[in-house]
């Protein structure tokens, strides 16, 4: 159930509503806006008393049943678009299309610093880079671990870019959270619910990638785990799904952008690098993502993609990334974004 309180409701009156919700056996989640407070009440509506009685309370504006399995991520819970603040200056979900860029893997200080300086100069706001890498083969490069995290922090200090990096294990939550501004949950862990809960408890923004064969409802429900554990800062990232097609590494589902934005108030990110697995497709897919309403782009960039330790075929060169930023700028402006 979604309970909307009237504007300028006093905190004591809000507390009374929360107490009643708990008394009836539901778990309340409070979302405070500029003028109104929205409360999502989670519980089994079939076996517990109805919250319809709250309609009679003078401080309550409306009580709306939510039929969807995902409650807190839904538009019913929060009709307005949510914005996610990253670090001091970056806001995702607002007027600006935010670009996150950097190498697939952190390989060393020179590689990372060169890339960070180049993407910052071209207009990126967030530096991406993998310190812990989930690889299909156990014999492939698995990342530099904490050393890679320290290099990302050094690049952040030098360039002012915020940092996004992948969290693979519950064992690494505190370590990765110490260095990151956004925690990325990758496709292979998209339904690792205990990892989602642990990540949520850090309070950091969580970028949740869509699983390899994940239905959109399952994806939204995975995001629900984060919100249900007290963290409203979720970004949904479409990175392509596995289909029968072999021309591309994955099939980038751009239809997910308007669908998720219709169903949820949370921002949507597109990863065109993983989406196609080919650097020559990145520009076109970025343009399509912007036209469809994506709030951010996640692009892989490397000083010398041919020598990359992982996924070189899908990474743009520094010059290629600078061209991409110039190419998408007129389109971003055409759709009314910054």
Please give the average per-residue pLDDT across 204-229, as a whole number. 97
Give the Cα separation of 128 and 298 in Å (integer): 8
C-alpha 300/C-alpha 113 separation (Å) is 15
Q: How confident is the model at residue 138 (pLDDT cuts 50, 70, 90)?
A: confident
C-alpha 40/C-alpha 264 separation (Å) is: 14
Neighbours of 20 (CB within 10 A): 18
174: enclosing H helix or E strand: helix 173-179
The single-letter DSSP state of residue 3 is: E
CATH class (in words) of the domain with range 2-64: alpha beta
Q: Does pLDDT of 206 surpass 90?
A: yes
- Report d(CA 221, CA 241) in Å as an integer: 17
Tell the CATH superfamily of the 84-334 domain: Aldolase class I (3.20.20.70)
Average pLDDT (76-84) is: 91
State how far Cα 71 lies from the chain centre: 18
Distance CA 3, CA 1 (A): 6
| Cβ-contact 142, 132 below 8 angstroms | yes
Residue positions counted in the chain: 338
Residue range 255-299, pLDDT digits in tens = 999 999 999 999 999 999 999 999 999 999 999 999 999 999 999
Could you tell me if 134 and 143 are in contact, meaning their C-beta atoms sit under 8 angstroms apart?
no
Q: Show me where the domains of the chain are located.
A: 2-64, 84-334
pLDDT value for 142: 80
Tell me the per-residue pLDDT of 81-112, one tens digit each, with 9 for 90 and over: 999 999 888 999 999 999 999 999 999 999 99
Alpha-carbon Rg for the chain, nearest whole angstrom, is: 21
Q: In whole angstroms, give the CA distance from residue 210 to residue 189.
A: 9
Q: Residue 191 pLDDT > 90, yes or no?
A: yes
């Amino acid at each position: 159930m979604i309970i909307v309180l009237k504007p300028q409701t006093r905190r004591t009156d809000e507390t009374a509503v929360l107490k009643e919700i708990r008394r009836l056996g539901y778990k309340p989640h409070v979302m405070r806006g500029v003028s109104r407070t929205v409360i999502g009440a989670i519980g089994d509506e079939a076996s517990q008393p109805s919250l319809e009685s709250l309609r009679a309370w003078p401080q309550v504006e409306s009580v709306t049943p939510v039929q969807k399995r995902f409650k807190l991520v839904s538009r019913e819970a929060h009709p307005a678009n949510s914005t996610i603040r990253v670090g001091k200056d970056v806001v995702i979900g607002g007027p600006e299309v935010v670009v996150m860029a950097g190498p697939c893997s952190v390989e060393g200080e020179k590689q990372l610093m060169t890339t960070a300086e180049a993407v910052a100069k071209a207009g990126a706001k967030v530096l991406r880079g993998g310190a812990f890498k989930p690889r299909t083969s156990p014999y492939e490069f698995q990342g530099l671990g904490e050393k890679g995290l320290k290099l990302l922090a050094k690049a952040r200090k030098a360039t002012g870019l915020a940092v996004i990096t992948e969290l693979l294990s519950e064992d690494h939550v505190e370590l990765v959270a110490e260095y990151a501004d956004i925690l990325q949950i990758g496709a292979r862990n998209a339904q690792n619910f205990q990892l989602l809960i642990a990540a949520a408890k850090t309070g950091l923004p969580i970028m949740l990638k869509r699983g390899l064969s994940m239905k959109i409802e399952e994806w939204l429900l995975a995001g629900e785990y984060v919100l249900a554990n007290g963290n409203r800062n979720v970004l949904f990232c479409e990175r392509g799904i596995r289909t029968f097609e072999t021309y591309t590494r994955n099939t980038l589902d751009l239809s997910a952008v308007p669908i998720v934005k219709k169903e949820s108030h949370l921002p949507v990110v597109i990863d065109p690098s993983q989406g196609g697995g080919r650097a020559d497709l990145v520009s076109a897919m970025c343009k399509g993502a912007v036209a469809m309403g994506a709030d951010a782009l996640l692009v892989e960039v490397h000083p010398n993609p041919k020598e990359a330790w992982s996924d070189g075929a899908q990474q743009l060169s520094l010059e290629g990334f600078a061209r991409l930023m110039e190419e998408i700028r007129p389109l971003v402006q055409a759709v009314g974004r910054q």
